[in-house]
């Protein structure tokens, strides 16, 4: 099918031939699409410079099957200028989205979720909170979210209790108050409030546990780059 111009962000780019690049794009109202773009001729340098992460683009593409073909593209709006830790977090947002969002499946809300959190990286110093918020909401959109408000028995989470988490069950009350998740921590996670250090730490452990089956054993390059920079 032919498309009109759609707003899109580049998630991943790699060479395909001497004159073509393969692009994984997050497209507004559509989801993640894989596209081929021809980069050659007098405009090659200009086009390569425009195809950068964190830059909103307008793209016109064709293709009836999984692989699409970009016919035209142009810059749209101002790019997000990320630096230092912001940049590594932006790379993580891109890599995570690229790895776990299915290609060519209509998951429309992912674009707005990504756009909002990319902007938040540029407007706050609490970068880890932005990442945790994105992870949990992305998992929810993909059908892998968890209920922070009720335990495995269907009872409301109680701030007086501590809980363990079990896959495919949920949160189970435990007797040990020195491990697991406190009810207060789960209440905060439910509201995407990661302002407390203990909540942020436990949220990171939980998100890694939930993401592992989706990411598999292949390590995240963005995480390796961040660790190498420290």
120-141 pLDDT, tens digit per residue, is 999 988 999 999 999 999 999 9
14 and 127 fall within a common domain: no
β 162-166/170-174 pair status: antiparallel
What is the pTM (predicted TM-score) of this model?
0.92
Higher pLDDT, 41 or 171: 171
Residue ending a domain, choose from 75, 101, 130 = 75
Does residue 49 sit in the same domain as residue 109?
Answer: no
Q: Which domain holds residue 28?
A: 6-75
In a domain, 95, yes or no: yes
Q: Answer yes or no: is 80 within a domain.
A: no
| pLDDT tens sequence across 197-228 | 999 999 999 999 999 999 998 989 888 887 77
C-alpha angle 105-9-55 in degrees, rounded to nearest 5 = 175
Q: Are residues 109 and 175 in the same domain?
A: yes
Partner residues linked to 12 by β-bridges: 24
What are 160-172's pLDDT values in tens digits? Answer: 999 999 998 999 9
pLDDT of res. 3: 55
Which single residue is written with the structure tokens 């995240």? 220
> 3-class DSSP state for residue 18?
coil
Statement to judge: residues 118 and 218 lie in one domain:
yes
Provide the 3-class DSSP secondary structure of residue 163. strand
CA distance 149 to 159: 11
DSSP 8-class letter at 156: B
Same domain? For 99 and 121 the reply is yes
* Both tokens assigned to 97: 């989205």
Q: In this structure, are 11 and 70 located in the same domain? A: yes
Residues 148 and 65 in one domain: no
- The CATH number of the domain holding residue 136 is 1.20.1440.120
- Domain total for the chain? 2
Cβ-count burial 105-120 (b if 16+ within 10 Å, e if not): eebeebbebbbebbeb
Residue 60 exposed, middle or buried by CB count within 10 Å (0-12, 13-18, 19+): middle
Query: Is position 169 within any domain?
Result: yes
Could you say which of 22, 46, 75 is where a domain stops? 75
Clarify whether residues 170 and 64 are in a common domain: no
């Amino acid at each position: 099918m032919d498309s009109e111009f759609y707003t899109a962000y580049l998630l991943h780019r790699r060479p395909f031939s001497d004159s073509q690049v393969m692009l994984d794009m997050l497209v507004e109202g559509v989801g993640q699409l894989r596209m081929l773009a021809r980069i050659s001729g007098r405009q090659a340098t200009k086009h390569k410079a425009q195809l950068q992460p964190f830059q909103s683009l307008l793209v016109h593409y064709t293709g009836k099957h999984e692989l699409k073909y970009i016919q035209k593209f142009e810059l749209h709006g101002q790019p997000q200028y990320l630096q230092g830790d912001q940049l590594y977090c932006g790379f993580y947002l891109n890599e995570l989205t690229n790895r776990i969002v299915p290609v060519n499946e209509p998951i429309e809300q992912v674009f707005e979720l990504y756009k909002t959190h990319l902007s938040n990286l540029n407007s706050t110093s609490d970068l880890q909170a932005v990442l945790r918020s994105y992870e949990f909401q992305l998992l929810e959109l993909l059908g892998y979210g968890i209920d922070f408000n009720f335990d495995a028995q269907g009872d409301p989470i109680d701030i007086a209790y501590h809980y363990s988490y079990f896959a495919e069950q949920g949160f189970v009350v435990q007797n040990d108050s020195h491990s697991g998740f406190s009810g207060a921590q789960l209440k905060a996670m439910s509201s995407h409030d990661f302002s407390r250090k203990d909540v942020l730490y436990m949220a990171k452990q939980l998100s890694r546990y939930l993401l592992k089956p989706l990411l598999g054993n292949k390590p995240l390059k963005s995480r390796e780059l961040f660790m190498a920079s420290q």
